[in-house]
Amino acid sequence: MDTNVDAPFLDHALAVALDAARAAGERIEHHFDRGVEIELKPDATPVTVADREAEDLIRATILQAFPDHAIYGEERGRSGHGEFLWLVDPLDGTKSFVRHTPYFSTQIALMHAGELVLGVSHAPVYGESMWARRGGGAFLDGQRVQVAQSCSVAEAALSLGNIKSLTRDSHRWGAFGELLGDVNRVRGYGDFCHYHLLARGALDVVVESDVNILDIAALAVIVREAGGAFTDLDGAGLTLATTSVLAATAGLHATVRDRLRRAEETSGT
């Protein structure tokens, strides 16, 4: 293993990420309690002073520890170069934040040479933090967690998130509808929440078709280290361009992937 990403290095980087996430969480809670003005980005999504200040805190913490690392953040864009790239969404779930609901979080992940190697998901108002680093397992507030052993679609609990583009794919949407009819339970927890539930064994499948890598990078590391599988809807590995998710227990991932893939093959696309 590259000595730059051995266990001691990852443990140190994880500690830095946790410190950064907690500092950001305190700033976000401060603004959540007092309320903030809402601005709209060019893509019509909301942004607030909480988003920007939280990212600035995270960047300062990371760069103090790793001044030669690159950072790609939701609000400040990409800075730096090199094989280490931090992926930061300081306030994932701004729409929930501005409506004063607790389903938002800080997401911090580290990518080394294209591979995700650690992740922190900190939801301060919801009251839950999860983290993981490559080869070290996944943790919820300090307690190790694992995905369920589920392997039966008929007994599975499935959560869906952002799926607008999936509804416009007639063939895959039909296959997804059949899947929803076959599983035991369907919910829409969304954002960080359903990935936390999956990683700790309370949920079996998560499907999303409209995400950004900054939303899911840390959660992918957590789910994988908890024993689950985390890919895009086609079953491909994650990259900076990934926009969809199929996350599931190890026993269900391939089955769900194949059911959605067969719909594509049948359509001739």
Same domain? 165 vs 76: no
Residue 209 DSSP label: S
Same domain? 111 vs 9: yes
pLDDT, residue 1, reads: 41
**Is residue 151 predicted with pLDDT exceeding 80?**
yes
Same domain? 119 vs 242: no
Residue positions counted in the chain: 269
Establish if 53 belongs to a structural domain.
yes
pLDDT, residue 143, reads: 97
Q: How many domains does the chain have?
A: 2
pLDDT, residue 269, reads: 46
Same domain? 97 vs 172: no
204 vs 118: CA distance, rounded Å: 22
- The residues, ordered by sequence, that sit 6+ positions from 152 with a Cβ below 8 Å of its Cβ are 252
Same domain? 216 vs 262: yes
Establish if 146 belongs to a structural domain.
no
User: Any idea what the CATH number is for the domain that residue 38 is in?
Assistant: 3.30.540.10
pLDDT, residue 43, reads: 78
DSSP 147-169: ------GGG-EEEE---HHHHT-
Residues 103-148: pLDDT tens digits? 999 999 999 999 999 999 999 999 999 999 999 999 999 999 999 9
**% of residues, the chain, pLDDT over 70:** 96
CA 101 to chain centre: 19
Same domain? 203 vs 127: no
Residue 226: give the domain boundaries. Answer: 153-267
117 vs 218: CA distance, rounded Å: 9
Same domain? 185 vs 107: no
133 vs 138: CA distance, rounded Å: 7
Residues 212-253: pLDDT tens digits? 999 999 999 999 999 999 999 999 999 999 999 999 999 999
**Is residue 268 predicted with pLDDT exceeding 70?**
no
Mean pLDDT, the chain, rounded, equals: 93
Same domain? 174 vs 83: no
